[in-house]
């Protein structure tokens, strides 16, 4: 409990230099101009399957230009694919808006908006910080996965072959989950 109290004191004193104060998601996967506010550096998203937890996490991953070496940047066009099951959930006019704290200033109205494709504004001004995003969404019991095999295959093909996990990312992953030794080579 003393660690949490120390974090709370640091946060209240403004010692957390990069922080997403809020995220507003509109016209995306069932979200209709709704805002999630973050009042503490460590948050837990809890809800039933399909309630939007992964949508919030994916949208947050897109907020920053990634500063980790050998790490990729995350874009809504890659994390919110228009697949067979999502054909109507990513539509023209979809928007993800961030209120981001950097140091003593608040960066208002940083956003991704989908017209024909996703565009960020203000242009070229995405804030920078390390970003690690592990997507484990759609974890299903073994007997429920057979019907999704075709859909998953199409989704993987849509993502392409550019998924590379470098040594630095693998070390980050190793800190939070056990990774078999043969995956590290």
Q: Which domain does 124 fall in, by range?
A: 2-139
153 in a structural domain: no
Q: What is the mean pLDDT of the chain?
A: 75
| Mean per-residue pLDDT, 92-102 | 88
Q: Does 185 fall in a domain?
A: no
Burial 133-153 (b: 16+ CB within 10 A, else e): eeeeeeeeeeeeeeeeeeeee
- Domain annotation covers residue 115: yes
CA atoms within 13 A on the CB side of 108: 0
Rg of the chain (C-alpha set): 18
Q: Is 27 domain-assigned?
A: yes
Local structure of residue 104 (DSSP, 8 states): T
- CA-based nearest residue to 36, from 47, 104, 170: 47
Average pLDDT over residues 132-151: 60
Of all residues in the chain, the percent with pLDDT exceeding 90 is 15
| 57 located within any domain | yes
Give the CATH number, domain containing residue 115. 3.40.50.300
> Which pLDDT score is estimated for 82?
64
Residue 170 in domain? no
Overall average pLDDT of the 112-138 stretch:
81
The whole model's pTM is what? Answer: 0.68
Structural domains of the chain, count: 1
Out of 26-35, 89-98, 173-182, least confident range: 173-182
């Amino acid at each position: 409990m003393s660690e949490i109290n120390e974090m709370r004191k640091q946060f209240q004193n403004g010692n957390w230099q990069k922080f997403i104060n809020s995220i507003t998601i509109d016209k995306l996967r069932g979200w209709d101009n709704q805002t999630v506010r973050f009042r503490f550096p460590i948050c837990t998203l809890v809800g039933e399957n399909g309630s939007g937890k992964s949508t919030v996490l994916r949208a947050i991953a897109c907020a920053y230009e990634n500063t980790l070496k050998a790490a990729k940047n995350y874009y809504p066009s890659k994390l919110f694919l228009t697949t067979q099951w999502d054909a109507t959930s990513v539509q023209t006019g979809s928007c993800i808006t961030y209120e981001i704290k950097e140091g003593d200033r608040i960066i208002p109205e940083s956003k991704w908006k989908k017209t024909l494709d996703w565009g960020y504004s203000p242009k070229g001004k995405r804030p920078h910080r390390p970003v690690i995003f592990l997507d484990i969404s759609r974890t299903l019991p073994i007997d429920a996965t057979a019907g999704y095999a075709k859909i998953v295959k199409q989704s993987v093909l849509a993502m392409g072959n550019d998924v590379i996990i470098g040594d630095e990312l693998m070390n980050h992953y190793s800190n939070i989950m056990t990774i078999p030794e043969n995956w590290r080579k």
